[in-house]
Amino acid sequence: MNERIRELYDQALEEFKAENKYATIIVPNLLQEKFAELIVRKCINVCEPVFLDEPYEDMSEFGKGLVEGQDVAVEKIKRHFGVEE
């Protein structure tokens, strides 16, 4: 599991324990990893550029800026969580 994802998982576990003092939780490592992977991939999918009818070359500067901003967001999420394709 990526270190940043591990940190988020540990934080969630600590908060869960603090809020549920008498609860016991056992989550297999493979399930933790798959769950984290799905969350990160969903974030990437939300940020990925939308397919537009208009070719990139024909877009206004505003439209190009939006697409470029989406590309930057996707790359930052991938780098932050160590996602490799």
In angstroms, the CA 5 to CA 48 distance is 21
pLDDT at 37: 81
pLDDT at 51: 56
pLDDT at 85 over 70: no
How many Cα atoms within 13 Å fall on the side-chain side of residue 39? 12
pLDDT at 49: 64
Contact yes or no for 47/77 (Cβ under 8 A): yes
pLDDT per residue over 60-81, tens digit each?
787 777 778 888 888 888 888 8
pLDDT at 52: 59
Q: What pTM did the predictor assign?
A: 0.56
Average pLDDT, the chain: 78
Residue with tokens 């798959």: 34
In angstroms, the CA 14 to CA 47 distance is 29
